[in-house]
Structure 1
């Protein structure tokens, strides 16, 4: 069996495990009018797109419903439809900006399933490239990200907005 080591995530996981706050990061950031400071790329009717502040790769983003529920079955059909529409637009935008070789798309439901914020369901979209997992995390204990979050934001936001203006969803 192969083992995938991700030591750069240990700080995030340990801090998330300690954080028993009653507030919700996803609810808090959307209530503010500070989209750029909070890495919010797009606000839809039922959900929004936000960059992951602890990305695995450049372009790692999340689609988050406004509704505060811990699992996808707490969402109605319109909310799920919009989340998938934003996912499709995000994949298109990332392909245009970064030309990845593939993607990981995932929903971690519950802390034991890997959800760092388990009280508010969200969808991860992680672009992947051949060779993006190299020796640095294993040997050096670090993950090398070749781009600042601000640069990722500035590249993806206009592309996502362009795609969603061309492909509006009638909800």
Structure 2
């Protein structure tokens, strides 16, 4: 895990898709080893983290700790916790934004699916502020936050949304 963490966090402000593809080649999941200081909330089965390549400000991810690809493989206990975390995050965002979106990323990445880049089930909870990514190029061109910015973002979200 230490080797993975050092390797993963060496990447700076590269385009998001470049980093994801490099990690995929060496069989490393971008969600399986999150730094503790970047975790907003930790349940028994899920982590809540800021999006590393956000579509918009206050973009949050809810990620199972267990590496799974399909929603249908979650246990009843995992589903209950996931539902509770989505509800908490949506309510927090609704205090600041009128509308909130929930996106499910389920299944394996396939070439033609827009915005799907990581083979690990996860949920995006984000303000609905007109985020419209309609092409794969737009999705791929998002920039990944460097380590310092990502940690600052996590700390700011903890103050705002916990």
TM-score tier, shorter chain, comes to: 0.5 to 0.7
SS at match of 2:89: helix
SS at match of 2:31: helix
Q: Runs (4+) of structure 1 moved beyond 3 Å?
A: 148-152, 158-161
Deviations 1:15-73 (A, max 9, x none): 423432222222222xxxx422xx21000011110111111111111101111111111
Tell me the equivalent position of 1:63: 62
Please tell me whether Structure 1 or Structure 2 has the larger radius of gyration of its CA atoms.
Answer: 1
Tell me the equivalent position of 2:83: 84
Supply the distance in 1 between the matched residues of 2:142 and 2:45 (Cα, whole angstroms).
36
Supply the distance in 2 between the matched residues of 1:155 and 1:20 (Cα, whole angstroms).
33
The change in CA–CA distance for 1:149 and 1:101 in structure 2 (over 3 A counts) is farther
Task: Give the alignment's TM-score, normalised by structure 1.
Answer: 0.64
Report the more deviating stretch, 80-89 or 16-25. 16-25
Supply the distance in 1 between the matched residues of 2:78 and 2:142 (Cα, whole angstroms).
37
Supply the distance in 1 between the matched residues of 2:17 and 2:142 (Cα, whole angstroms).
15
Tell me the equivalent position of 1:35: 36
Q: How many residues align?
A: 133
The change in CA–CA distance for 1:151 and 1:91 in structure 2 (over 3 A counts) is farther
Superposed counterparts of 1:4-153, under 5 Å: 11-18=15-22, 19-29=24-34, 34-36=35-37, 39-96=38-95, 99-109=96-106, 110-112=108-110, 113=113, 114-118=115-119, 120-129=120-129, 149-150=150-151, 152-153=153-154
Give structure 1 stretches of 5+ with no counterpart.
1-9, 162-171
Report the more deviating stretch, 63-72 or 151-160. 151-160
> CA contact under 8 A between 1:67 and 1:75: conserved in structure 2?
no
1 or 2 for the larger relative contact order (CA 8 Å, sep ≥6)? 2
Tell me the equivalent position of 2:146: none
Task: Give the alignment's TM-score, normalised by structure 2.
Answer: 0.68
> CA contact under 8 A between 1:49 and 1:62: conserved in structure 2?
yes
